Amino acid sequence: MDFSCTVARAELILGGQKSGKSGRAEAMARAWLAASAERGAVLIATGQAHDDEMAERIARHRRERALNVPGMTTVEEPLWLASCVDRLASPSTLLVIDCLTLWLANWLMPAAPCARTDPAAAFAAQADALIAALGRSTGPTVLVSNEIGLGVIPLGREVRAYVDALGTLNRRLAQVCERVTLMTAGLPLCLKGQA
């Protein structure tokens, strides 16, 4: 998958599962790195291996990224994205956060550090902190998130709350990002900004 695209200061890439979101982010990182030897790219990975299938999925993604974008380093950060952006942002470094969908799940799941208090309120504070960090960032950032609110309304209070929280997060990030891209069947559709 190859996309001819420039890197925006902040881009939100949305789409369904296996729609090409990560492929677009990797293509942007390859183009960013190819433009100058002085540039770097860092993937901030939010996934956690809570079972064997997820462990294998993470290992597969690592192998594929090493082949697709050999110059990109990976930092694993399942919870504290704002401080990670603050620490890693620089004008010569492209940050790729993949993905916000898992980040939200990490905060809302029962094993989350905020489980003894109000997970939704704790996550809202983290979302505020991430948006503030993006505003302070001195370099480009690509954020990857699923668009999961297009189907039927899920049964179960917790799942409905999750879908609502992700939709709210995506909407808030779309407001502050320079470009928003929707991936469908491997094809990018620019919703905001210039492609």
Catalytic hit among 9, 61, 172, 192:
61
Q: What is the mean pLDDT of residues 24-46?
A: 96
Q: Please tell me the distance from the alpha carbon of residue 35 to that of residue 30, in angstroms, as a whole number.
A: 9
Q: Please tell me the distance from the alpha carbon of residue 35 to that of residue 28, in angstroms, as a whole number.
A: 11
Beta-bridged to residue 98, according to DSSP, are 45, 144
The pLDDT-based confidence of 1 (bands split at 50, 70, 90) is: very low
Amino acid, res. 139: G
pLDDT of residue 116: 60
Residues near 21 by Cβ (< 8 Å), separated by ≥ 6?
13, 14, 15, 98, 99, 144, 145, 146, 183
Q: What is the mean pLDDT of residues 113-142?
A: 89
Q: Please tell me the distance from the alpha carbon of residue 22 to that of residue 28, in angstroms, as a whole number.
A: 10
| pLDDT tens, position by position, 142-175 | 999 999 988 877 788 888 889 999 999 999 999 9
Cβ contact 183:17 at 8 Å:
no
Higher pLDDT, 86 or 122: 86
| pLDDT tens, position by position, 100-123 | 999 999 998 866 666 567 888 889
The pLDDT-based confidence of 66 (bands split at 50, 70, 90) is: confident
Q: Is 50 a catalytic residue?
A: no
Instruction: Report the CATH number of the 10-192 domain.
Output: 3.40.50.300
pLDDT of residue 2: 45
Q: What is the mean pLDDT of residues 22-43?
A: 95
pLDDT of residue 157: 86
pLDDT of residue 187: 96
> In whole numbers, what is the pLDDT of the chain averaged over residues?
91
Asked if the model's pLDDT at residue 98 lies above 90, the reply is: yes
Classified as helix, coil or strand, 10 is: strand
Asked if the model's pLDDT at residue 52 lies above 50, the reply is: yes
